[in-house]
Structure 1
C-alpha cells in the first residue's frame, strides 16, 4: 500500500497524468477560440500526447506552445483547406436535394466516398503533422496512405474520435455529459488514447 501511494507509485502517476490532460484540454480549447487556429491547436495537443505515450515529455505548457508555434503555418493552411473542401461537400449535398437526374445514385456514392476521405484527413492529418515534417501535400497524402495500410489501427482511432460525437445525439442527458467532459477532459483524453495507436503505427515509419 505504501508503494502504491508514494511519489513513484501508480496512483501518483495516474493523478499526475489526469491533471496534465485537464490542463492540456483547457489549453487546446483556449487556442481554438479564433476558430481558424483549431488545426494548429490540434497539432500542438497531439504533439504533447504523442510525447506522453513515448515517455519523451517536455512539460505540457512548453510542449504545447513550442508545437503550436512550430506548426502554426502548416496546420492552419491544412485546416483552412479542410474547411473549404467541407463547404464544397455541404453545397453538393444541398444541390443533391434539388437534383432529379439519372445519376443520383452515382452522385450519392461519390459524395459519401469523398466525405469519408475528408473525415479521414480531418482526424489523421494533424497527428501526422505533429510527428513528421513534410509539405502540406505530402502530409495529407501520407496520412491517407498510413490509414489504408494500417486499417486495424485506424478503425479504433475513428471510433475514439467519432464515437463521442455520435453519442451526444442519442439523448439530452448524454449531450450534457459529453459537453461537461469536453470542457474539462474530453479532447485531450481522446488524443491521448489515439496517441497509443498512432505510436504503434508511426514506429513503422
Structure 2
C-alpha cells in the first residue's frame, strides 16, 4: 500500500498532474476576467499547458505568470485585432441578412462568409500557442499561425474538434459538466493540455529543423 502512495508512484503522479491542471484552470479564469487580458491569458494558458504536456514545467504559477507578463502587450494587441475581425464579420452577416434579397447572391455571400469565419477560427486556434512558443512581430505571428493551420490540417481539425465537442456537450447536455462546474474546475486547462500535446509536437519539428539548418 505504501508504494501506491509514494511520491513517484503512477497514482500520485497522475493526481499531481490533475492538481496542476486545476491550478492552471483557476489562473486562466482569474486573469481572463478583465476581458481585455484574454489574449495574454490564452497565451499563458497554452504556454503552461505545453510545458505540462511535455513534462518541462517548473511551477505552474511561475510558468503561467512569466508568460502572461512577457506577452501581455503583444497578446493584447492580437486579441484586439481578432475582436475587430469578429466585429467586421458580424457586421457583414447583418448586411447580407438585411440588404441582400437575391437568393443566389445571398448564397454566394453567405458561403464566402462561412469560409472566412472558418479560416479566422483556425488561425485563432494556432495564434496564441504560437505566440507562447516563438518570438516575432504581430504580423509574423498572425501570418505563421495562418500558415500552420493550413499546413497541419489534421492537427487543426483534431484540436478544433476537442473544443467544439466539449462546448457541444456543455450546451446540449449541461448535466454532464455539472452545469458548468467542470469548466470552473478543470475544463479550460484540460482542453489546453490535450491540444497543447499536439501543438508542442508540431512546434518541436520546426525548432529542431531550424537548429539543424
Bin for the TM-score computed over the shorter chain: over 0.9
Worse overlay, 26-35 or 120-129: 120-129
Cross-structure match for 2:147: 145
Return the alpha-carbon distance in structure 1 between the equivalents of residues 165 and 178 of structure 2. Answer: 14
1:166 aligned residue (165, 168, 175) = 168
Rate the CA distance shift 1:57–1:171 in 2: closer, same or farther, 3 A.
Answer: closer
SS of equivalent residue, structure 1 residue 103: helix
Matches within 5 A, 1:1-205: 2-98=2-98, 99-101=100-102, 103-174=105-176, 177=178, 179-205=180-206
SS of equivalent residue, structure 1 residue 168: helix
SS of equivalent residue, structure 1 residue 34: coil
TM-score (norm 1): 0.93
Return the alpha-carbon distance in structure 2 between the equivalents of residues 144 and 109 of structure 1. Answer: 20
Return the alpha-carbon distance in structure 2 between the equivalents of residues 132 and 196 of structure 1. Answer: 16
SS of equivalent residue, structure 1 residue 48: helix
SS of equivalent residue, structure 2 residue 172: coil
TM-score (norm 2): 0.90
CA contact (8 A) 1:123 1:161 kept: no
Return the alpha-carbon distance in structure 2 between the equivalents of residues 123 and 192 of structure 1. Answer: 14
Return the alpha-carbon distance in structure 1 between the equivalents of residues 145 and 68 of structure 2. Answer: 20
1:48 deviates by 0.8
Worse overlay, 92-101 or 132-141: 92-101
How many matched pairs? 204
CA contact (8 A) 2:24 2:189 kept: yes
Return the alpha-carbon distance in structure 2 between the equivalents of residues 191 and 178 of structure 1. Answer: 20
Worse overlay, 93-102 or 41-50: 93-102
CA contact (8 A) 1:48 1:63 kept: yes
Return the alpha-carbon distance in structure 1 between the equivalents of residues 154 and 105 of structure 2. Answer: 34
- What is the RMSD of the two structures over their aligned residues, measured on CA atoms? 1.5
Cross-structure match for 2:211: none
Return the alpha-carbon distance in structure 2 between the equivalents of residues 62 and 16 of structure 1. Answer: 16
1:2 deviates by 4.4
